[in-house]
Every structure is written in C-alpha cells, then in structure tokens.
C-alpha cells in the first residue's frame, strides 16, 4: 500500500507534505513524489525514499500553499521515476495521487488510447487521471464533479487526491477500500492515509467512509458521496500524541515498539481487567457478547502475525470456552466458498485494520450471515467500521513494518474475550478464571524482565548473523510462537526461516539438520516439556545448533542447548506473551547486524491494502 498526504492552507505546502510523507514511509517506500502549484502545476518525483526526493527538491522553487505527495509500494509497474506518483493528466492541468488498485484500468486505457491519449507510465493511476480529465472535457464540469462521475465508472480500491491548475484553491479527495483522513485546522486542511502526518497540526479529523468525496475549495470543506448526496462532515478528535509516532531515542521504531510492550500490554488491559473484583469489561462487545457465548463455532480470519495470534487464540478458546475454532488465512478464506452456518461467529484480527484480504474475508462472511468481531489497533480504520463489534488493542501506533507490540496486545484482548465467554458459558471454574486474571496482571512485569535479556540476545545474534537458514520449533501454545519467530526473522533479515510444531521434525524437516542449521526451540516448562526435550536431543544427535528459550532456572535445557535464553515462568496458556519477546529481539539484532532496513524491509509494507 502507499502513503498519501495533501495540504492547503497558510503554510509552505512542501514542508508539510515532505514531513508527512516521512511519517507515512512505513506504508510503502519504493518511490516518492510531490505536486505543487508554484507558478504552474509542477510534479517532482523519483524512485527511492522521501530523503532522496528531499535532496532532489533542493534549489527548486517550492513556494506554494497547496500541494500533495505520495510514497509508493508498487502494484502496477516497477518502482521507477515514471511510475512514481503523482501523475499528470493528458494536458498536465490535473494531477493525482492514489493508494489502491483500479481493476478496470485496462479497458479504460484502451478507450482512452483510442481517443488519442498517450501514457508515460505503466500505472493504473495515470489512466485514472486521464479518465477524469476526459470526463471533465466532455461534461465541461468542475474538477470535483468530474472526479465524482469518474468514480461511478471505475472498479477497484482507491484513496485519491486530485488537484487542478485551473482551480488553484481546490483539493478533491475520495476513498473506497483504502483509508483517507481529512484534518481540519484553522484555515487549513490536510488529507492523508492516516492521522500520523496530521496530528502535529490538528487533532480534529474526518474519517472518510467508502465512496465519499471530500472537497476543499476556497477554504471550505464539503463532503458528498459518489451518488452526489451531500453529507455533514463528522469531525472527531483523535487522541494520538506526537511523541507516540516519534522514535523516542531508539535507533528503530521496531526496537522502540518491542520495548514499549510492558506499557502497551498494560494499556490494553487498563479499565478492562481487574482481578480484585474479578471483572472483565469489554465495552465494544457488550451487545454481541451473547453471540460469542452461544456460538457453535468460531472462525478466525487474519494474515501474517495477526494469523499467528489467531492460532494462539484457537488453543485458548477451545481449552476454556469449549467452542470449536478454525483459524483461516483471510486470503484463502475469501476465495474459497466456505460453509458458514447460523451460529458461526467470525473474529477478524488486524493491526492496521486495512488489510485487503481480511476486509474481503469479512465482507464474504457478512454476506453469508455471520456475526463479525474485529480486533484492531488503529482507531477509525476500515475493519472496525466493517464489523458488528470488536475491541481495540490500544497498543499505540505501530510504525515498524514487523509487528511486535500489536501481536502481544492482540493476544491479551483475545485472552480477555475468551475468559469472558468461558465465564458466561460456565466452562471455566471461578478459581481458574481468577488465577488467570491475576496472572495476566503480572505479564507486563514479566515482559519487562524478558526485555532485560537484550544484551545476551544481541551476543547470540552476532553468532548467527550470517546463517542462511533457521528452524523454529515449539509445541502447544508455543507452536504459533515458533511461526511468529520465523516470520520476524525472515521479514527483516531476509534469512530463510521456517516454524514447525516440534513433533513435525521427524516427518521430513529433520533432514535439514546439520552443523550449519540453527534451531530455535521454545522449550519453556509446560505440559509438552518432556517431548520438546526429546526433540532437542534428536536435533543435537544430528549436530544441529540449538538455541533454546527456556523457563528461568532450567538447568536441564541449559546443559543441552548451545545458547539458552531464560524467560520468567508463567501459566503455559499465557507463555506466548513472554516467549515471543526474545524472538523479536533476536530477529531485530540479526537484521541490524546484516545492515537491513529494519523499519522498512525490502518488498514489504506495513499494511497490505492490495490483494
Ligand atoms: C507482521 O510482522 C507482518 N508485517 C505482516 O505479516 C502483518 O502481520 C500482516 O500483513 C497483517 O497485517 P494486519 O495485522 O495489519 O492485518
């Protein structure tokens, strides 16, 4: 997905836009560009990061109080200068920036070429702005009307901003399937993919809904929908502080977010969990909790790390709620014809709340009559607005592409939901319920303690920074953690890594074991501990290099593994919250030692808002 920022007001537009693009670079960063009305409608764009665009702009006349910028994660057309946004229309009197995919761009392009249009790029976006201008010329209408008419014809997802040389006070923004926020300042307006580029200027925002068009013209904001129905702007105050999106002295956002986890887990439980009164209060579920309590089956849909959180939840819900749970990759679920019956409840898990596959899975499940709960971290994002109920994880903005604090916050919310449901179903004893509430309250301090292993983990990372492969193994609640550890490593260090249930090794993967293969075992004291110890023996017998995550004080594992990382003990059903911490740190340090761009790994984006 891409990042878009636009501004009109009393400030120097390029300053606001460049700074805003830097805050959005986590969304995509293979090329960037800016359009300004500085004497003419001028576009400056190139392959590379915002910093490179900034150097490219040195010496240019940037005097303009209106403009827009874009940072790209390529969908149509490789990352290069021509495919970077913004894009001109045929006459170069219009310009557009776009996050999304226009699915019928090929047919539109064919029609436009037949009319004599020529294109400089391979992108669907350039077709989009040519199409808008073609309509404006045929209909002889203002820009905002031309945009609206074009939106009645395009198929696909978009968050766009369009500007015109001939209407120098106007910005036209619209969205469908990709997020767009309008910031309302004093005599100035901002438009962006999320609130992070806006909040240092204003906390007053309007979250555009699908098929809505925001027009700022002559200092006035109006909103209507694609059907031309005028709408009253619903201005909300976003409670995001600037320091939350700064690095706070850490070298990378990812490291900051790893170390924020004691607080983010605390924030996630605040006002919701109180072991002294045995109360769990999840406001967002209130009207629908009964649907979960009476569910015949729970389907969890998610992607990536959020899918791993779903796997942990499967063990937890089945153990305590005695409700069958199925965890599905949203990208698979959405394209097969799943059987969804009355009494099925779907839980969609997403940090960004904008993942296209997860949104599509929600739509499919809704169309088949299921009740949908959303577990999201970004307030006002698309998934919370597409679901019947849900809960925010309150982990704060997660800027690093590799998800860390959002994962542990997702687990906390899922644990709290499952315990509420189990209590209501009478499938958990009061004693066990209380015991788990008390233990959950100790997790922030246990995570704090696990973070103190950072230096030891850095030392281990140095030993394996040149490894070409890794295997991660765990059983039970630690099996999804093995998958998560492997994903963390591969997505930021580019080392191939696989996670398996430890018992699976003998069904093939053990053939991979030799003296070059680092094998990370999550071997904390739990009901499958003895089995994992045997699996460690099997790997050692084949000269595999064992790195073990063990329960503190575990002499046996310490005697067996080449490296042992000892984490605080906790109930096995909550262990993923603690055992994942060293794996986050291990992947971080290996990636830094390999000179990788930890916060913006190659080929990735923070939220995949395209299919
Ligand atoms: C996690 O580290 C990855 N960046 C990625 O797998 C991510 O979890 C996935 O794209 C889902 O994103 P979401 O939680 O925002 O839906």
> What pLDDT score does 1 carry?
66
Instruction: Give the closest residue (by CA) to ligand 1 atom 9.
Output: 304
Q: How many angstroms is it from 304 CA to the middle of ligand 1?
A: 5
Other Cβ atoms closer than 10 A to 83: 23
What is the residue-averaged pLDDT of the chain?
94
Find out whether 95 and 129 touch, Cβ atoms under 8 Å: yes
Q: Is 491's C-beta closer than 6 angstroms to any atom of ligand 1? A: yes
First to last CA, the chain: 10
Q: Which atom of ligand 1 is nearest to the CA of 302?
A: 16
Q: How many angstroms is it from 277 CA to the middle of ligand 1?
A: 35
Compute the average pLDDT of residues 34-56.
93
> What pLDDT score does 579 carry?
98
Q: Is 584's C-beta closer than 6 angstroms to any atom of ligand 1? A: no
**pLDDT at residue 610 above 80?**
no
> What pLDDT score does 24 carry?
83
Query: Which CA distances in Å does 286 have to 179, 282, 318, 424?
Result: 27, 7, 21, 12
Q: How many angstroms is it from 306 CA to the middle of ligand 1?
A: 6
Q: How many angstroms is it from 521 CA to the middle of ligand 1?
A: 23
Question: Is 153 noted as a catalytic residue in this protein?
Answer: no
In this predicted model, what pLDDT tens digit does every residue of 426-441 receive, in sequence order?
Answer: 999 999 999 999 999 9
**pLDDT at residue 21 above 80?**
yes
> What pLDDT score does 26 carry?
67
Q: Is 576's C-beta closer than 6 angstroms to any atom of ligand 1? A: no
Query: Of the residues 257, 306, 348, 484, which should be mutated to test ligand 1's pocket, given the most ligand atoms within 8 Å of the CB?
Result: 306
Q: How confident is the model at residue 28 (pLDDT cuts 50, 70, 90)?
A: low
Compute the average pLDDT of residues 28-37.
89
Question: By C-alpha distance, which of 207, 283, 282 is closest to 240?
Answer: 207
Q: Which atom of ligand 1 is nearest to the CA of 358?
A: 16
Q: Is 382's C-beta closer than 6 angstroms to any atom of ligand 1? A: no
Q: How many angstroms is it from 403 CA to the middle of ligand 1?
A: 6
In this predicted model, what pLDDT tens digit does every residue of 84-120 receive, in sequence order?
Answer: 999 999 999 999 999 988 989 999 999 999 999 999 9
Question: Is 186 noted as a catalytic residue in this protein?
Answer: no
> What pLDDT score does 56 carry?
92
Q: How many angstroms is it from 406 CA to the middle of ligand 1?
A: 9
Cis peptide upstream of residue 86 (ω within 30 degrees of 0)? yes
DSSP secondary structure string for all residues of 522-533: EE-SSTTHHHHH
Q: Is 8's C-beta closer than 6 angstroms to any atom of ligand 1? A: no
Find out whether 548 and 567 touch, Cβ atoms under 8 Å: no
Q: Is 358's C-beta closer than 6 angstroms to any atom of ligand 1? A: yes
DSSP summary character for residue 394:
-
List the structure tokens of 199.
């909040």
List the structure tokens of 511.
């053939």
Compute the average pLDDT of residues 549-567.
98
């Amino acid at each position: 997905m891409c990042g878009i920022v636009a501004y009109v007001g009393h400030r120097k537009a390029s300053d606001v836009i460049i700074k805003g693009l830097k805050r959005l670079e986590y969304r995509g960063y293979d090329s960037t560009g800016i359009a300004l009305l500085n004497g003419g409608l001028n576009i400056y764009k190139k392959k590379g990061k915002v910093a490179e665009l900034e150097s490219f702009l040195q010496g240019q006349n940037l005097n303009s109080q209106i403009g827009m910028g874009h940072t790209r994660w390529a969908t149509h057309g490789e990352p290069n200068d021509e495919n970077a946004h913004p894009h001109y229309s045929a006459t170069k009197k219009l310009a557009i920036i776009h996050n999304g995919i226009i699915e019928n761009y090929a047919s539109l392009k064919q029609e436009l070429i037949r009319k004599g249009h020529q294109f400089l790029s391979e992108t669907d976006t350039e077709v989009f702005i040519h199409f808008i201008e073609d309509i404006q010329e045929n209909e002889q209408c203002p820009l905002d009307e031309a945009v609206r008419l074009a939106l009645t014809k395009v198929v696909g997802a978009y968050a766009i901003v369009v500007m015109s040389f001939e209407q120098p006070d106007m910005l036209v923004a619209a969205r469908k399937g990709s997020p767009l926020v309008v910031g309302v300042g004093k005599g100035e307006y901002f438009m962006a993919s999320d609130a992070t580029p806006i909040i240092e200027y204003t906390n007053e925002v309007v979250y555009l809904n699908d098929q809505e068009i925001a027009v700022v013209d002559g200092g006035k904001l109006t909103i209507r929908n694609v059907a031309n129905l005028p709408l009253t702007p619903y201005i909300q105050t976003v409670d995001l502080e600037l320091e939350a999106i700064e690095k706070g002295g850490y070298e990378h956002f990812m490291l900051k977010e790893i170390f924020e986890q004691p607080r983010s887990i605390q924030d996630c439980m605040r006002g919701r969990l109180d072991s002294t009164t045995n109360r769990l209060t999840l406001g967002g579920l209130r009207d629908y909790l009964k649907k979960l309590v009476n569910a015949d089956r729970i389907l969890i849909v998610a992607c990536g790390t959020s899918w791993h959180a779903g796997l942990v939840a499967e063990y937890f819900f089945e153990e305590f709620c005695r409700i069958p749970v199925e965890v599905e990759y949203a990208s698979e679920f959405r394209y097969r014809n799943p059987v969804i019956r009355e009494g099925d409840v779907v839980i969609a898990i997403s940090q960004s709340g904008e993942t296209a596959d997860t949104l599509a899975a929600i739509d499919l499940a809704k169309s088949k009559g299921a009740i949908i709960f959303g577990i999201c971290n970004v307030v006002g994002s698309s998934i919370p607005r597409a679901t019947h109920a849900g809960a925010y994880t309150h982990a704060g903005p997660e800027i690093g592409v590799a998800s860390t604090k959002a994962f542990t916050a997702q687990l906390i919310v899922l644990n709290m939901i499952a315990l509420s449901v189990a209590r209501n179903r009478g499938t958990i004893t009061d004693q066990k319920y209380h015991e788990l509430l008390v233990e959950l309250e100790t997790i922030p301090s246990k995570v704090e303690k696990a973070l103190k292993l950072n230096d030891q983990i850095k030392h281990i990372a140095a030993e394996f920074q040149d490894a070409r492969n890794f295997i991660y193994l765990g059983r039970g609640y630690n099996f999804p953690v093995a998958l998560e550890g492997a994903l963390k490593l591969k997505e930021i260090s580019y080392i191939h890594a696989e996670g398996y249930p430890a018992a699976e090794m003998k069904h093939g993967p053990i053939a991979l074991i030799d003296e070059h293969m680092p094998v990370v075992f999550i071997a904390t004291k739990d009901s499958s501990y003895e089995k994992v110890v045997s699996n460690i023996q099997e790997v050692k017998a084949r000269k595999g290099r064992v790195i073990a995550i063990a329960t503190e004080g575990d002499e046996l594992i310490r005697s067996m593994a080449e490296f042992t990382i000892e984490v605080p003990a906790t109930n096995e059903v909550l262990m993923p919250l603690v055992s994942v911490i060293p794996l986050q740190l291990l992947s971080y340090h290996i990636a830094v030692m390999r000179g990788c761009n930890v916060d913006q790994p190659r080929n990735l984006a923070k939220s995949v808002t395209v299919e």
